[in-house]
Structure 1
């Protein structure tokens, strides 16, 4: 069952209504629609018909479903107390039959009435309208994206696709709709490049995941590297997100899609001054800004309740501080628990969060620690900043977050820990020889033999990998990396294994000069591991 939300882009910003009554009416109508609709979709739509006096309009609400429908002779009955439809549907779903009666009574109290249109086997539409005083913000001009001008929507559900197209049109983005995932590759080849591609995962022939995988296998790099957003069902979000990560699909968004979240996502996606644009609409993936390297592996806690904002922050860190361990929390209470469990080096704290807000969470953490806490807020007013600093925060970043500003602020605090971590750095992060020795039941001779074998084996793998990269043999290189990763992990060369893992994960997204740079980093890490291994071998 799909839920569709249709709010036009030009809908007034403010309206004076009775929110409790409107909520109760819609709640009853939606509850009824969902109860009787086993498959298909339920849509809630609003519109505003401006009256002669532009300060007033008729706000229309519509709840549409694809349920069994209602016979003409029974349509009047459903608005009467304790009345239910005859037949198997009402028996199966039960209930008192009061929901629509309550909704109808509330509508009458607002000088309105609920209208019903229904066809057997096709579904029903319940609608009502109320007069309201509205306010249009004069300074509000339709937002126009600067670089994203063309989008491809791969969506089997035509109505949902049309709603998404309408949403994008409000930001001056022209969209093409494709209802068959099997036709995507041919379509992309025969049309000018799109700036962004949105693919629904719920497709009958090929799923969205399968479609993206096929795109990357078949299309030239310059086309397959376009930013792709996978749209997923909320009940499958965790499972699909894991599979998407495995396929290097960086962007997912949960349906039903809300305009503010999508707009924020697209703004960050196109903002090339922010290095959140990983899959840029070009064939070049190198960042213009590269953060200085830290001599230790920082632990960063991100407290953020917005899924898109959280993913974008994680992408920035994955790009600029790839060695960082990232922990996340969806509210202030979780942030406090995660702080106690993980002892992070720094915390990014969203100010407005459910359960416990960022300021309250900061005050609780300050009772325990002086860990640096950076506020992240959509409001950048001085009053907001003062409240954050008064609570004990150490810095302030305004949304939308800019990569360089964020990383500079983070490094300003982490650099203070650099010397401390350099002193405490454990060589086991490079070569955990005691762990390996323990696996070998303290057989030092066996350890030395393994070190000798690994010297020859790893040198050979590096040479073969260099040759595969030079020859452009991606499949061979990935196979070598997979084997190489296993060897390094088995030998407890932890830093080396981590470099190889990231290289394998990112390989298909990198240009040749980046591949060579990654290989050089692996060689440098191997040199560190080898020096420690030789020391162990020599006693």
Structure 2
């Protein structure tokens, strides 16, 4: 070692090995110096230069020797570092090479403990991941195993609730149903929480109607509100754009969690769900909505708010004991909103209620509001309800349609107003009010006119009671429009449209003959119970409208399959059955045979609804026990003609218009034909077209799914249903394509061609309607 390099002696006290190398005059590398820390690496002996060089060359990485690394650093001047395992010492080292002056410095640090710790951490992570997967698999398997029998409990308990039960039995069964649903909710919450924690829960935005979503939520939670005697309110601005892109399932889950909590912690008063448009970002076509859930419940203190969004905790132990729950609902809701870039906010006063709210940005599909038409013939409406907020919701909706609304806070005030004014076209009233209920208001109101008969105003009655007694009394008072609270805005506007048309002073004239519903009515005073079995929503809507035209006092019971039709026949004992032949679960022929077994003395007329009258199906209907049939597509005059066989009337049913025998190949949509089918009711036509816009895309989606799964039978079945719907709606070319699809043997290429043509035709029809 050169005397000029005496400073290298300072490295002897370092805890890690330092080796100094340099080039000799012969341009070869040689070891110039090493510190004492090297002794512990080379058998604790005093090494010589050759031993050190051999040791260094043993520190190779991926077949690259230390000498090769050293030369590279020496020539480039760029330092380098690498980890290597020294087999003879059974230890890990980190080797660092860098230039100092004209010499190469190699530092060697023992990192064995670091490597062992990293290895243990990796092993722990692998074990943790395996445990997490095992937990996830366990939860998934257990949830399936638990939910399968739970679905059975919920399903069969609901079937029992729809049957004849004593009051005690009904109470017991409601408790069973509610307990099963609570357990299902608990399982779903734990699974969602687990998925979110694992980062496996994704958000899938899709085209969604906010109004329909909100009304669905209200439908789900209203039973719990009614059980506690709480007023459930839904407030959505009628001019608010409602078609947006959002994950409907997850937004609905958030709203149900928040409203269910509000109902749980409210013992009296009301719970209100409101949706408000805050602003529209025109550039991005994105709207910001404010969702708010307000209640008049127990409220939450400032100290307890911190616990609300902590998993498995509740505001206080008293609440946990009294109200139950896992404390996961709010946590999950906030996590879901976090994935939608939102969060829950809270304003609350202990003892005075709470308001949970959140703002969320949603891309718009269309900017138009749900309701756009104005009323022409409904001018004045009286709204009667003891709840101020409920009255305001109705008044806002009426004002939006250009209708003046007067308010009354109870039945007594309403009768005083009616006594002073006779210009109301419509009365909207609650059933359950102090002093005098809604039905008694109607009775006293009608008693104010000679003979107790009052042509106007029309009446819309709504109630939180789902007891059949209320609806039976509505039937006796001929109150056609009755709803369970909260009243759906879509239903309310639909009813207003129908009433508005009925008040049109210009009667419909066809072929010089004044048309009147009264001339086509059976049993003008007697209530007729009609059971309609039909699996298609469009046909169900049409049949209902036709029945109410010829039987104003009819009471309608709906079944979407034959099995349900048999059950309703036993329960409701109808005077007439209209039976679709082709239905799921149990077809119309099988259902008819079952019904005939149930009859004792009186034979109930069963009229078939069938699209197949030329292939012997009509004979099959008679053999099965049906009394007559109405061919599909259903024409109003055919419908009246068949009913006239079985029901007496003060006047013989008269033909409204002759049927149009149209060439089905000449057009896409014959609106005049559809107008005839509905008895010249334009409002009914519009409603049927609205249903078609919702249902036909679903049929197309089912056809695509059947094709993907190579299920020819399912493809044919859906095509058959779509053919009937298209015929009912006078979509002639769509009916023709559907018929070809139904009759086609399984030929995937032809099916795809027809399906493509079907989609093109539907797009064209949509542009027409």
Q: TM-score range by the shorter chain?
A: 0.5 to 0.7
Once the two structures are superposed, what CA deviation does each residue of 1:366-388 show, in whole Å capped at 9, x if it has no partner? Answer: 5787975448xxxxxxxxx99xx
Instruction: Identify the residue that residue 45 of structure 1 maps to in structure 2.
Output: 274
Q: What is the CA–CA distance in structure 2 between the aligned matches of 1:28 and 1:121, rounded to whole Å?
A: 21
Do the aligned residues in 1 keep the contact of 2:561 with 2:587 (CA within 8 Å)? no
Say whether 1:395 aligns with 2:626: no
CA separation of 1:157 and 1:336: change in aligned 2, threshold 3 A: closer
Do the aligned residues in 2 keep the contact of 1:336 with 1:364 (CA within 8 Å)? no
Do the aligned residues in 2 keep the contact of 1:329 with 1:338 (CA within 8 Å)? no
Do the aligned residues in 2 keep the contact of 1:201 with 1:232 (CA within 8 Å)? yes
Q: Secondary structure at the match of 2:293?
A: strand
Say whether 1:191 aligns with 2:421: yes
Do the aligned residues in 2 keep the contact of 1:395 with 1:409 (CA within 8 Å)? no
| Count of residues in Structure 1 that have an aligned counterpart in Structure 2 | 376
Q: What is the CA–CA distance in structure 2 between the aligned matches of 1:45 and 1:199, rounded to whole Å?
A: 21
The offset of 1:411, in angstroms, is: 2.6
Do the aligned residues in 2 keep the contact of 1:301 with 1:347 (CA within 8 Å)? yes
Q: Secondary structure at the match of 1:79?
A: coil
Residue pairs, 1:519-534, within 5 angstroms: none
CA RMSD of aligned residues (A): 4.3
Q: Secondary structure at the match of 1:396?
A: coil
Instruction: Identify the residue that residue 8 of structure 1 maps to in structure 2.
Output: 237
The offset of 1:77, in angstroms, is: 1.7
CA separation of 1:312 and 1:109: change in aligned 2, threshold 3 A: same
Q: What is the CA–CA distance in structure 1 between the aligned matches of 2:234 and 2:641, rounded to whole Å?
A: 43
CA separation of 1:114 and 1:373: change in aligned 2, threshold 3 A: same
Structure ID, larger Rg: 2
Structure 1: gaps spanning 5 or more residues: 278-285, 350-357, 376-384, 398-404, 419-539
1:226 to 452, 457, 477: 457
Q: Secondary structure at the match of 1:152?
A: strand
Say whether 1:365 aligns with 2:595: no
Say whether 1:208 aligns with 2:431: no
Instruction: Identify the residue that residue 175 of structure 1 maps to in structure 2.
Output: 405
Do the aligned residues in 1 keep the contact of 2:534 with 2:583 (CA within 8 Å)? no
CA separation of 1:374 and 1:264: change in aligned 2, threshold 3 A: farther
1:57 to 274, 287, 299: 287
Structure 2: gaps spanning 5 or more residues: 1-229, 508-515, 594-605, 619-629, 648-769
Q: What is the CA–CA distance in structure 2 between the aligned matches of 1:204 and 1:130, rounded to whole Å?
A: 40
Once the two structures are superposed, what CA deviation does each residue of 1:18-52 show, in whole Å capped at 9, x if it has no partner? Answer: 22221221121112111111221111111222124
CA separation of 1:395 and 1:186: change in aligned 2, threshold 3 A: same
1:251 to 465, 478, 481: 481
Do the aligned residues in 1 keep the contact of 2:530 with 2:578 (CA within 8 Å)? yes
Q: What is the CA–CA distance in structure 2 between the aligned matches of 1:116 and 1:191, rounded to whole Å?
A: 45
The offset of 1:316, in angstroms, is: 3.2
The offset of 1:64, in angstroms, is: 1.1
CA separation of 1:289 and 1:6: change in aligned 2, threshold 3 A: same
The offset of 1:415, in angstroms, is: 6.1
Do the aligned residues in 1 keep the contact of 2:240 with 2:370 (CA within 8 Å)? no
CA separation of 1:198 and 1:309: change in aligned 2, threshold 3 A: farther
Do the aligned residues in 1 keep the contact of 2:240 with 2:368 (CA within 8 Å)? no
CA separation of 1:137 and 1:410: change in aligned 2, threshold 3 A: farther
CA separation of 1:360 and 1:216: change in aligned 2, threshold 3 A: same
Instruction: Identify the residue that residue 337 of structure 1 maps to in structure 2.
Output: 566
Instruction: Identify the residue that residue 390 of structure 2 maps to in structure 1.
Output: 160
Q: What is the CA–CA distance in structure 2 between the aligned matches of 1:291 and 1:6, rounded to whole Å?
A: 38
CA separation of 1:120 and 1:151: change in aligned 2, threshold 3 A: same
Q: Secondary structure at the match of 2:316?
A: coil
Do the aligned residues in 2 keep the contact of 1:201 with 1:231 (CA within 8 Å)? yes
2:381 to 151, 155, 173: 151
Q: What is the CA–CA distance in structure 1 between the aligned matches of 2:367 and 2:591, rounded to whole Å?
A: 45
Do the aligned residues in 1 keep the contact of 2:521 with 2:550 (CA within 8 Å)? no
The offset of 1:244, in angstroms, is: 2.9
Q: Secondary structure at the match of 1:236?
A: coil
Q: What is the CA–CA distance in structure 2 between the aligned matches of 1:69 and 1:39, rounded to whole Å?
A: 13
Instruction: Identify the residue that residue 316 of structure 1 maps to in structure 2.
Output: 549
Once the two structures are superposed, what CA deviation does each residue of 1:58-93 show, in whole Å capped at 9, x if it has no partner? Answer: 122111111110112211221112221226333211
2:638 to 385, 400, 409: 409
The offset of 1:4, in angstroms, is: 1.1
Instruction: Identify the residue that residue 262 of structure 1 maps to in structure 2.
Output: 492
Q: What is the CA–CA distance in structure 2 between the aligned matches of 1:273 and 1:130, rounded to whole Å?
A: 42
Instruction: Identify the residue that residue 448 of structure 1 maps to in structure 2.
Output: none
Q: What is the CA–CA distance in structure 2 between the aligned matches of 1:100 and 1:139, rounded to whole Å?
A: 31
2:250 to 10, 21, 39: 21
CA separation of 1:224 and 1:187: change in aligned 2, threshold 3 A: farther
Q: What is the CA–CA distance in structure 1 between the aligned matches of 2:646 and 2:248, rounded to whole Å?
A: 51
Q: Secondary structure at the match of 1:81?
A: coil
Q: What is the CA–CA distance in structure 1 between the aligned matches of 2:295 and 2:322, rounded to whole Å?
A: 18
Once the two structures are superposed, what CA deviation does each residue of 1:386-433 show, in whole Å capped at 9, x if it has no partner? Answer: 9xx9x9971335xxxxxxx64x23133346789xxxxxxxxxxxxxxx
2:520 to 281, 290, 304: 290
Of stretches 22-31 and 157-166 in structure 1, the one that deviates more from structure 2 is 22-31
Q: Secondary structure at the match of 2:493?
A: helix
Q: Secondary structure at the match of 2:427?
A: strand
The offset of 1:289, in angstroms, is: 3.1
Q: What is the CA–CA distance in structure 2 between the aligned matches of 1:343 and 1:84, rounded to whole Å?
A: 51
CA separation of 1:410 and 1:313: change in aligned 2, threshold 3 A: closer
Q: What is the CA–CA distance in structure 2 between the aligned matches of 1:339 and 1:247, rounded to whole Å?
A: 24
Q: What is the CA–CA distance in structure 1 between the aligned matches of 2:646 and 2:459, rounded to whole Å?
A: 38
Q: What is the CA–CA distance in structure 2 between the aligned matches of 1:20 and 1:57, rounded to whole Å?
A: 19
CA separation of 1:94 and 1:414: change in aligned 2, threshold 3 A: closer
Residue pairs, 1:47-126, within 5 angstroms: 47-48=276-277, 49-53=279-283, 55-86=285-316, 88-126=318-356
The offset of 1:126, in angstroms, is: 0.7
CA separation of 1:311 and 1:153: change in aligned 2, threshold 3 A: farther
CA separation of 1:138 and 1:23: change in aligned 2, threshold 3 A: closer
Do the aligned residues in 1 keep the contact of 2:343 with 2:358 (CA within 8 Å)? yes
More RCO (CA 8 Å, sep 6+): 1
